[in-house]
Amino acid sequence: MGTVTLGVSLAVPEPYGSQLQERRAGFGDTAAYHIRTHVTLLPPTEVDVALLPDFRRHLAEVAADGRPFPVRLDGTGTFRPVSPVVFVKLVEGVPDCAELQERVRSGPVARELLFPYHPHVTVAHGTSEESMDRAMVELADYTAAWTAPGFALYEQAADGQWRMLNEYPFGQDAPDPGCPARPAPAASLPRF
Q: Is residue 35 predicted with pLDDT exceeding 60? A: yes
Q: What's the chain look like in SS3? A: CCEEEEEEEEECCCCHHHHHHHHHHHCCCCCCCCCCCEEEEEEEEEEEHHHHHHHHHHHHHHHHHCCCEEEEEEEEEECCCCCCEEEEEEEECHHHHHHHHHHHCCCCCCCCCCCCCCCEEEEEECCCHHHHHHHHHHCCCCEEEEEECEEEEEEECCCCCEEEEEEEECCCCCCCCCCCCCECCHHHCCCC
pLDDT band at 177 (very low <50, low <70, confident <90, very high): very low
**What is the architecture of the domain spanning 3-71+95-119+147-170?**
Alpha-Beta Complex (3.90)
| pLDDT per residue as tens digits for the range 84-138 | 999 999 999 999 999 999 999 999 998 888 889 999 999 999 999 999 999 999 9
Q: Is residue 163 predicted with pLDDT exceeding 70? A: yes
Single pTM value for the model: 0.88
pLDDT of residue 99: 97
pLDDT of residue 100: 97
Q: Is residue 176 predicted with pLDDT exceeding 90? A: no
pLDDT band at 192 (very low <50, low <70, confident <90, very high): very low
